Amino acid sequence: MLSLLSYTFFQNAVLAGILASIACGIIGTFVVIRRMVAVSGGISHAAFGGIGLGYFLGIEPLLGALGFTVGAALTMGELEHRAEQHMDTLIGAIWATGMAIGILFIYITPGFAPDLFGYLFGNILLVPQSDLLLMLVLVAIIVLTVGVLFNDLVAVTFDEEYATVINLPVERLLLILLVLIALTVVMLIQVVGIILVIALLTLPAAISRECTGRVRTMMLYAVLLGIAFTTTGIFLSAFLNIPSGATIILVSAAAYAGVLVRKHGACR
């Protein structure tokens, strides 16, 4: 089984899993403690519009996805304040609109969209070198931004009203957080696909939350759990010849269920 590691495609897959886990451990922690799971779902499905646009224009679909996720994040963040809409409503609108745009673009693009299925459900075993580079850049941006703004982001996600009273730039910080979610989603598309993104974003952080009362520790555990889940999933899928994205999610879900069944007993 370990002989798999001598293949470049397999090394790339493990590396992509590690990079994605770093991003989703850090950002997933905020998603879980600030209850932004549905927003993340909206952003990730909006990415499909960008994938479609990428096919249509003949550019890298992931770059299209990057544009759409960031655009969706900014649109939802702005509209929530400017148009006084419920986030819930905006999520529904953005979620479906993104998917619809993607479907239309793919329909009007001549020819066949070969790895469409990969974008929807992930195919980490086929991550090209160029995508690894994109992921590396995104991880660097995420780690750096959270490192610099850590105390502000904690204050805003902990108590938004109080953060406003002490005159922190609350709206801007929440927009930044949404954009960071958008970047993370793009990384995870490669690993588990648009449809399964929210599970990998939330499950490691949700398990980690059961084990610690500190944001920093929660991030660290979530990263480590993410690496464990993706690596296990990659090995299992290669070994059993089953879809990698689904395997990673099921490994994560099984671990989450295990922690819930043991009811906090495992950690304390």
Q: Which residues bind another protein (CB under 8 A)?
A: 33, 148-149, 151-152, 154-155, 157-159, 161-168, 209, 212-215, 217-218
Nearest CB to another protein, comparing residues 131 and 210: 210
Nearest CB to another protein, comparing residues 33 and 228: 33
The tokens for 213 are: 């009362």
> Rounded to the nearest whole angstrom, what is the least distance from the CB of residue 121 to another protein in the complex?
32
Do residues 211 and 97 lie in contact, with contact meaning Cβ atoms separated by under 8 Å? no
Nearest CB to another protein, comparing residues 93 and 211: 211
> Rounded to the nearest whole angstrom, what is the least distance from the CB of residue 214 to another protein in the complex?
6
d(CA 149, CA 172): 11
Nearest CB to another protein, comparing residues 170 and 238: 170
> Rounded to the nearest whole angstrom, what is the least distance from the CB of residue 117 to another protein in the complex?
37
State the alpha helices, DSSP H only, in the chain.
8-33, 37-57, 61-82, 87-108, 116-121, 129-158, 160-165, 170-192, 197-209, 215-240, 244-262
Neighbours of 110 (CB within 10 A): 5
Nearest CB to another protein, comparing residues 53 and 219: 219
d(CA 210, CA 220): 13
> Rounded to the nearest whole angstrom, what is the least distance from the CB of residue 204 to another protein in the complex?
14
Nearest CB to another protein, comparing residues 204 and 233: 204
> Rounded to the nearest whole angstrom, what is the least distance from the CB of residue 211 to another protein in the complex?
10
> Rounded to the nearest whole angstrom, what is the least distance from the CB of residue 260 to another protein in the complex?
16
Q: Kindly report the CA angle at 176 between 170 and 178, in degrees rounded to 5?
A: 105
d(CA 190, CA 145): 22
The tokens for 26 are: 């850090």
d(CA 25, CA 180): 12
